[in-house]
Structures are given as C-alpha cells and as structure tokens.
Structure 1
Amino acid sequence: MDGAKIKDLRTKRGLSLTELAKRSGVSKSYLSFLERNMQQNPSIEVLEKIAKALDVNMYSLFIDETTCTSIKATHLDRETLELAIELDNANVDKEKLRMLIDLLK
C-alpha cells in the first residue's frame, strides 16, 4: 500500500489530516505515518475506517485509477481484497495462515 494514495484522496476532498482523523477515528499521527510511508502495514480495520471517511471503496486505496493498475505493481484484485477482509473479520491468525500457504506451496 502506498501512503501517497491516501494523501492524494484526502487532498482531492479538501480534507486536512486533522479532519480525516476526526472522520475516521484514526489518529492524526498514524495517518501522517501512513501518508509518508513510515507505516506500511495498516490493518484491514484501519483501511476500512479511512476508506469510509474518504467516501471510497477500500479497493480504491490500492488502485491507481489513471492506469487501472495496482500501486507498486502488486496484483490485488477485488476478490483477493475481499478474501483478506473476510480473513481479518474471522480473526484468522496470520502466522497460521502463513504456515498454511507454505504447506500449499
């Protein structure tokens, strides 16, 4: 995830970091870290809050609308993102999921 995408969406909507923090319930300092790519691994829950506050689909945080390719050349499609959200909502342990992926390889 590229924090510049969040900053771009925020500024296009005329929101300050403070306003986005209020709307999303995510701290201003954490948002700043995200936008400056100092924090690159936010939870699905945080991304959902930010997307809702920006009035966009969470998928939009990963997609460059001008080229319709995902940021940093990753290939996250809608189904993959929805699966990740479902796993997060089901509180699937990430370490166990990594072990399962290793087994499947």
Structure 2
Amino acid sequence: MIGAKIKSLRLKKGYSITRLAEKAKISKSYLSHLEKGLNNNPSLHMLNKIASSLNTTVDELIEAEMSHSVLSSKPLINKEWLYLIEQAIKDGMTKEEFVEFQCYLKFRKRNDHIN
C-alpha cells in the first residue's frame, strides 16, 4: 500500500525512480522494492526522506495503509503523534536517543512512585 502511494505521487510529479531516489538520497533498488511491495516495513526516517522529496508528509504516505488495516478500524498512529515523530526526525533525533529518552521517563515514573 505505501509503495503504491509513493509510486502514484512520484508519477504525478513526473519523477523517475532514479530522480526520486537521488532527491531522497536513497538507493534506486530500495525505492523500487518499496514501490513493488517487496519491502513493506520502511523506517520512519526513510519515509520522511521520501515524503520530503515528494513535498508531502509521512502521514499522507501511510494514510492509505492505515485506512486499509485489517487489524483495526482506528488509525495505528494518530496525526499528532506522526507530527511529533516527524519533528523529532527533522530535529535530528536518532532512534537510540528516543529509546534513551523513554528509559529516562520510565526511571522518573518509578522514582516518583517511590517518593
């Protein structure tokens, strides 16, 4: 689903796979696999690079995927969370920093309950 949306937006822009891959700074083979549905689990970082290159948002890219989810009729991630994630990525936050921050919050919650 995500791959089909990317391909649709790419074609609307008149971009070849090569052009979009260069703009997004990703490999052509990665983009091709994504569009063909051979890679169904791209990272948010990669989706952000592709979305930026297509002048769209990650939310728009995954909207079709979320609306066709068989597991739930509700979106898996709401728009506010997607926005926060996009901003963190744009600000340069790494996955490791995010995990470290989560650990810190858990530590604080445990200590708050003790005190």
Q: With structure 1 as the length reference, what TM-score do the two structures score? A: 0.71
Q: Matched residues, percent identical?
A: 37
Pick aligned residue for 1:89 from 93, 103, 106: 93
Alignment CA distance shift 1:24-1:90 (3 Å): closer
What residue ranges of structure 1 are gaps of 5+ in the alignment?
101-105
Number of corresponding residues: 92
User: Larger helix proportion, structure 1 or 2?
Assistant: 2
Displacement of 1:82: 3.5
Alignment CA distance shift 1:11-1:71 (3 Å): farther
Secondary structure in 2 aligned to 1:56?
A: coil
In 1: Cα distance, 2:67 partner to 2:33 partner:
18
Contact preservation (8 Å) 1:17, 1:32: yes
Contact preservation (8 Å) 1:13, 1:54: yes
Aligned CA RMSD, in angstroms, stands at 2.7
What residue ranges of structure 2 are gaps of 5+ in the alignment?
107-115
In 1: Cα distance, 2:3 partner to 2:42 partner:
10
Deviations along 1:73-101, whole A, 9 cap, x unmatched?
A: 361321232455549935244xx99xx9x
Report which of the two structures shows the higher radius of gyration computed on alpha carbons. Answer: 2
Deviations along 1:6-65, whole A, 9 cap, x unmatched?
A: 10110111111000011100111000000011011111111110001001012110124x
